[in-house]
Chains A and B, each alone.
Chain A
């Protein structure tokens, strides 16, 4: 590249873009991703359009399929809501996986050992509360070290995931093991299970309430404002007299608590037992959901449903067309890549060299 000439391609930040255009780019990126997703299907000798048909059919065509899809989407949505305030603060919490696991563990303790002594509703309330508490405390540990010694939170929260999973693995094969040698924790009694509303466990109601609460919290409260200021500039926040360390810890506690609730919903509403893979990647996938929604609570509903459709549909695809179900991970990955890339075209303008000359003239 010649140094003294204007480069062939230049970039300039866009001021503001037409809303319709922004959405056109986003929807366009999704379409591009779905087209790219055809490649692995064609390579394995399947008709991609038929395959997408099966995915849609297998996830949405019947009420029972739809319910199962919603069941997949609920934890994704809640967990994305949990991550949003941290990311707004530019605190890279990638420990939701572990926070879910700890919440699930705490809830399971009461489901296993107190189910016969406490009536249904109070038991569920207790499980909800201890789930939130355990997730919150688990998140508080890295937050404390970040606030006190500026310890790298990305790596810290990542490690905490595997510690949490390891603890559950130990419980599973040790103290909480059901039948000796089974390596399984017994199933919950009906008393400790979430009731169903419209055929799906009532977690979806909690999720929708959380969407509203999180929207209000982030946009209409003083705490939400503090989070936004820290995200933009820690120094500004300090000059304004905010106690940054305290806000970091408070926000992480809230975030961890919501993840903990997700853990409670998964064990009490879907699995009815605890095992080490209880979070099943939800904590990681939801990070992408939160980011792609631009941390907007309502957009998260759409994106988490989209990924849930892919996951549910891919299972049908495997049984019907012998395409490995991991195709859903591939398409999810491509989708994330495409949507991440599309943000670039929304915030930057690409200027080619010949255009410059016209401008000069």
Chain B
């Protein structure tokens, strides 16, 4: 039982990272932009999020407060991701370049920037960049009082998580409501499905694509920051972060582009990615666990294309740029 609870808590911790990455990419892909730069965006989010909190602590010294550091880390990660996605949007939407290639270029660029900032901070601060213990705890503490967290079973499973997990839940629910219940969400979906029709209906394609991609990129970047500040223990760790962005791209498919699915999907993927550390299943080598998420995603991809059911498809214009004059 204790093992199971530990597993769930660990799955949620890693799942939170994935949830941000996935939610951001869902919003982006809803507009028809396939941004393959998530990997780079999450690197940048991680490096700039850490930088935000670290330099704040340095400036405020003893007066540094946890909540302020958390807000600053979120904001700097969001800004980094939004800036990276703005580059992507400019090149693909305004300058009409190929989305796959631009996304991969952003991956290269973003991992480069993230690594550069992380390394540079380490070198310029004399070898070690880490937050003080106070702030470190603030990042990984539960937002609920001890009394609730210490309720047997339920307390750990539901209430012991960081503020980032609950924020991600909130974003998922808001995104669901936005896409399903508001006019603008409907417009956004229409843009992703058929830009030509939406354009004829008077929807500003460019604006929707830009906004969805930039905000989506910002949300994805927060995931990178959450990884660095919780799992990696507030130290720049590019090895742990590598591959997380691609996993988020996989998760978007697994969730069939629905924000609410991202909640359980990312916890499930989180579980698959860390299970090898916690549970040993005989006869199945640990390394093969790790490819499970990708295999499952491939199967989902194949099944949805075979069944060809309308509501489970990728946005119809995904990866294809819209040129009004080519219509």
The residues of A with any CB-CB pair to B shorter than 8 Å are: 11, 13, 40, 44, 92, 94, 145, 149-152, 154-156, 158-163, 166-167, 169-170, 172-174, 281, 284-285, 287-288, 291-292, 322, 324, 326-334, 336-337, 340-341, 343-344, 348
Contact = CB atoms under 8 A, between A and B. Distances in A.
Nearest to B289: A166
Given A92-B319, A154-B34, A162-B294, A288 B101 contact: yes
13 contacts: A145-B305, A151-B306, A156-B301, A158-B36, A159-B294, A163-B294, A163-B295, A281-B108, A329-B108, A332-B109, A333-B40, A334-B109, A336-B102
A287 B36 CA distance: 13
A262 to B, nearest CB: 17
Nearest to B37: A333
A169 B290 contact: yes
Contacts of A337: 87, 91, 102, 105, 109
B96 A344 contact: yes
B287 A333 contact: no
Contact of B108 (A92, A149, A159, A333): A333
A341 B294 contact: no
Nearest to B110: A333
A166 B290 contact: yes
Interface in B279-327: 285-288, 290-291, 294-295, 297-298, 301-302, 305-306, 308, 314, 318-319, 325
A341 B97 contact: yes
A170 B243 CA distance: 17
Contacts of B306: 149, 151
A284 B290 contact: no
Contacts of B109: 329-330, 332-334, 336-337
B287 A332 contact: no
A330 B297 contact: no
B101 A162 contact: no
B160 to A, nearest CB: 31
Contacts of A11: 325
Interface string B92-104: 0001111011101
Interface stretch (B111-119, B134-142, B259-267): B111-119
Contact of B98 (A285, A291, A331): A291
Interface in B22-41: 34, 36, 40
Nearest to A171: B287
Nearest to A281: B108
Contact of A156 (B34, B36, B98, B298): B298
B112 A326 contact: yes
A13 B98 contact: no
Contacts of B115: 324, 326, 329
Q: Which 7 A-B pairs have the closest CB atoms?
A: A333-B109, A329-B112, A166-B291, A326-B115, A336-B105, A170-B287, A324-B119
B312 to A, nearest CB: 12
Given A155-B253, A166-B288, 8 more contacts: A94-B104, A145-B302, A152-B314, A155-B250, A173-B286, A284-B108, A340-B98, A340-B105
B184 interface: no
B249 interface: yes
Interface in B240-273: 243, 246-247, 249-250, 253
Contacts of A167: 288, 291
A146 to B, nearest CB: 9
Nearest to B98: A291
Nearest to B109: A333
Contacts of B105: 288, 333, 336-337, 340
Contacts of A163: 291, 294-295, 298
B101 A287 contact: yes
A203 to B, nearest CB: 23
B301 A151 contact: yes
A152 B112 contact: no
Given A162-B246, A174-B287, A336 B95 contact: no
Contacts of B55: none
Contacts of A166: 287-288, 290-291, 294
A150 B290 CA distance: 27
Nearest to A335: B105
A288 B109 CA distance: 12
Contact of A340 (B91, B107, B286, B305): B91
B311 to A, nearest CB: 16
A150 B318 CA distance: 14
A150 B123 CA distance: 50
Contacts of B294: 159-160, 162-163, 166
B188 interface: no
Contacts of B102: 336-337, 340
Contacts of B287: 166, 169-170, 172-174
Contacts of B91: 337, 340-341
A322 B127 CA distance: 13
Given A92-B319, A326-B115, A344-B96, A158 B120 contact: no
B106 interface: yes
Contacts of A333: 40, 105-106, 108-110, 112-113
A332 B104 CA distance: 11
Nearest to B307: A149
B102 to A, nearest CB: 6
